[in-house]
Amino acid sequence: MTKFNIFSGFALDSEIQTEVRFPETKIYELIQRLVNYNEECLEFLLNFLALKVQKPFFKPPLILTWCATKKGCGKGTFKLFLEKLFSCNENILISYNKIGQFTSNFNSELETCLFLVLEEVSANKKNSLKEFSGLLKDISSMTELLIEKKGIDRKVVPFYGSVLVFSNELCVVQVTSDNRRIVAFEVNNEKCNDTQFFQEIYKELDDLQIMKSAWNFFLDRDVTTWDFRKIPQTELLARLQRCSENVTVKFARWYFKDRSHTDILVNESGRCLSLVTGSCMG
């Protein structure tokens, strides 16, 4: 069977002249705010986007997470930026706001996906994303996907989609102590619902020279030595890990760490000599 490459290429990957410096734009400021001006997180996010621009066929097994945010902080605007940055003749960004869409067997829209965005994720509703943590981890790392259209035989296709999670709630994803996938970004909320700030960003998103400067910025960024496995250790990530612990681990932490040191007395051999509630001879 003959196969044809019908991919048009990215619209911004063309001969467009620009003198704009992307780090001086409002879009860049938005990216800074979406990592709360944390330099480590900023470098990580910029490198991630640069890798996507330079090697869209390479998929780092990561889940970029923005949770416990305020409404109007710019998550949706950032999603729009990604759509415009990677604009082409295919639908490269798929957005789900219902868990049923994410778990559906009919998933043909993911065939050309570069970004899979899970929006309005909730921790309280039945069938929350935490209940499908296994599926979330699988889809974040798989490089092939079984595509199924209604009335058409299933087929296996390459899958390059990176997962982004947006939520205003906290405990929306399961994060283990040995986490290797989830990146949790904290957000600066000073510009939340700031009409003037976001109007300036939308104006830049429609400016071809500014968007070309963004493309050039990520295209020229050196990511040859970037290790995506070195996930930024933010306080938000630590909170998510604590929220994900089972009851036994939480009790052990409370008993041996969070309580005052005067409650437990241990000798040099490691034997517990006394407790507030009694004595321990073992």
Residues 17-48: pLDDT tens digits?
A: 999 999 999 999 999 999 999 999 999 999 99
- What would the pLDDT profile of 105-156 be if each residue is shown by its tens digit? 888 889 899 999 999 877 666 656 666 788 888 999 999 999 888 888 889 9
> Would you report the helix, strand and coil content of the chain in percent, each value rounded to 5?
40, 15, 50
Q: For the chain, what are the domain ranges?
A: 22-242, 245-279
Q: Which helix (H) or strand (E) holds 141?
A: helix 133-141
Does position 263 have pLDDT exceeding 90, yes or no? no
What pLDDT does 133 receive? 81
More confidently predicted of 132 and 229: 229
Max Cα-Cα span within the chain: 79
Q: Does domain 22-242 have CATH number 3.40.50?
A: yes
| 48-107 pLDDT per residue, tens | 999 999 999 999 999 999 999 999 999 999 999 999 999 987 889 999 988 888 888 888
Helix, strand, or coil (residue 162): strand
Round the average pLDDT of the chain to a whole number and report it.
86
Tell me what pLDDT residue 90 has: 80
